[in-house]
Amino acid sequence: MITYAYGRVSAKDQNLQRQLSAFTEFGIEKSYIFSDKKSGKDFERKEYKRLLKKLKSGDLLVIKSIDRLGRNYEQIISEWAFITNTIGADILVLDMPLLDTRTKAETLVGKFISDIVLQVLSFVAENERENIKQRQAEGIRAAIGKGIKFGRPTTDYSDEFLTVACDYIEKRITSETAMHSLGLKKNNFYYHIYRIKELYY
């Protein structure tokens, strides 16, 4: 059995060190740690694909948190099932010990509990995405009701866009990191930040 680890950040100038340190403290050799600096919108990532080719039945995959695996929870559930059922490897999420598929006392309790927790997390995430869309629609309707006219067409922000914008607003990342991740120039970036603050904050 080999223990692997996977880390990810969304932008090239974001720091992976916190995740890498957690893997080292867990006792994972550097040669078995894979990482990408790419958006979590899908699993088309070079190092992640390399990792999947190496994973074998009985191996363990360690990640720091579930959102480091990806942002799309429907895809995460599918990928989780592929790793644990098709490949036959186990998964451990360091920030949430209940997400640990390793069997306990030669039973399937570990996998059963992990599947339940993952389903609950997925439901919560899906529900939050719907709430974001609803708050966006309600905010726009309220603004129009007050006579506010938007100078540009209404924008339907993606979950990924909102996540990066909120990370900037709540000072978890810099404006440079956010602009790079979103592919926006300064004026356009601050226009959307202003709109998102008006709608959600």
10 catalytic, yes or no?
yes
Pull the structure tokens for residue 78: 């599918």
Pull the structure tokens for residue 117: 């927790």
Cβ atoms of 169 and 197 within 8 Å: the answer is yes
Question: Which residues sit opposite 91 in a β-bridge?
Answer: 61
Q: Provide the pairing of β-strand 90-93 with 60-63.
A: parallel
**Alpha carbon 70 to its chain's center:** 4
Catalytic option among 10, 35, 114, 181: 10
Give dist(CA 137, CA 46) in Å, integer: 37
Backbone φ and ψ for 95, nearest 5 degrees, come out as -80, -10
Residues marked active site are found at 10
